[in-house]
Amino acid sequence: MHGKHLISVALLWAGLTAIGELLVFADLFPAVGSHEAEDFDSIFRFLLILGIPVFTFVIAVVAYAALTWRIRGERPAEDGPPIRGSGWVPRIWLAVTGALAVFVMIHPGLTGLAKLQSSYTAYGWGKEEADLEINATAFMWQWTFDYPDGTQVSITKGKEVVIPVNKHVRFNVNSIDVVHSLWIPAFRMKIDAIPGRTTYMTVFPTELGAYDEDQSYRVQCAELCGLDHSKMWLPIRVVSESEFEAWLASLKSEGK
């Protein structure tokens, strides 16, 4: 009987794992709009591939136990005898899950962090390396984005953030009141806006895109900051370099 239960749980685990692993490669993620988004999506998928078998094993055991040994009829007056784990099964479980935890700390944990830091060293912290710098200022409940030529856009002026494709764009992020957070879902990048301190976020857009076509193209505050937090967002549009220059010129001519 014991072997029958193990086989049943194993089959249920295999089925749930197969379904979960197939969903990893389904088109369920937001639009991939930048080089950073590609990196983060690949890391996330890798972690899902490793984590799904562990998750589905727990679900399979709990579901099978609940369906097989659930109480039928009159409820007993007292609990049954305690069951204590022993033998090779818990030892293998501890060894496998412990090894997985150490592995993901190293890769993609430390290796991914090193890659991100090297990218910021090349394109973020070095002011001369960014193709375009935009000063982003947060306050309750609005963003303002100042371009190098003096152009400013906000919820009331310009009403969209426009950046060129295939260029390294650095956002210098500040806040003048409370902590906010600048988040662009299509780029998978987010950085806190902290009063009295400038933080930085560098992105390399690889695809043309706009909020009208995909709502992940937006600049959103991702830190609960008060009553109108949900309204603290702006559309973002990624365009060709020539279209970007034309957009800047049009704002200047309109006095925005």
Residue pLDDT, tens place only, 206-226: 999 999 999 999 999 999 999
Percent of the chain with pLDDT over 70: 93
pTM of the model: 0.79
Is the domain of 108 the same as that of 175? no
Q: State the DSSP H helix or E strand holding residue 220, giving kind and residue range, or none if neither.
A: strand 218-221
Residue span of the structural domain in which 244 resides: 132-254
Angstrom CA distances, 128 to 34, 100, 200, 205, 214, stand at 21, 41, 14, 19, 32
Q: Is residue 106 part of a domain?
A: yes
Asked whether residue 75 is assigned to any structural domain, the reply reads: no
Nearest to 203 by CA among 173, 235, 172, 167: 167
Question: Mind listing the pLDDT tens digit for each residue in 164-195?
Answer: 999 999 999 999 999 999 999 999 999 999 99
42-56, 58-72, 120-134, 233-247: lowest mean pLDDT where? 120-134
Query: Are 117 and 145 in the same domain?
Result: no
- pLDDT confidence tier of residue 243, bands split at 50, 70 and 90: very high
Verify that 153 and 106 share a domain, yes or no: no
Residue 7: Cβ-neighbour burial (10 angstroms; 0-12, 13-18, 19+): exposed
d(CA 221, CA 233) in angstroms, rounded, equals: 6
> Taking a C-beta distance cutoff of 8 angstroms, is the pair 174, 135 a contact?
yes
| CATH number of the domain that residue 162 is part of | 2.60.40.420
Q: For residue 209, what is the enclosing H or E element?
A: strand 209-210
Q: What is the mean pLDDT of the chain?
A: 87
Closest residue by Cα to residue 187 from 119, 238, 239:
238
157 lies in the same domain as 179: yes
For residue 50, give Cα distances in angstroms to 43, 185, 216: 11, 24, 27
The C-alpha atoms of residue 221 and residue 207 are separated, in whole angstroms, by 23
Helix ranges, 25-71 (H)? 35-68
**Banded model confidence at residue 88, pLDDT cuts 50, 70, 90:** confident
Please identify, among 123, 141, 167, the residue that sits at the C-terminal boundary of a domain. Answer: 123
Residues 10 and 60 in one domain: yes
Same domain, 140 and 248: yes
Cα–Cα distance between 225 and 180 in angstroms, integer? 6
DSSP alpha helices (H): ranges in the chain? 2-24, 35-68, 88-104, 111-123, 241-254
Range 152-156, long-range pairs (CB < 8 A, 24+ positions):
152/256, 153/234, 153/251, 153/256, 154/234, 155/231, 155/234
pLDDT at 206: 94
Determine the pLDDT at residue 120.
56
Give the per-residue pLDDT at 255: 61
63 falls within a domain: yes
- Report the C-alpha gap between 223 and 183 in whole angstroms: 9
Peptide bond into 141 cis (omega under 30): yes
User: Are 150 and 57 within one domain?
Assistant: no
pLDDT of residue 126: 44
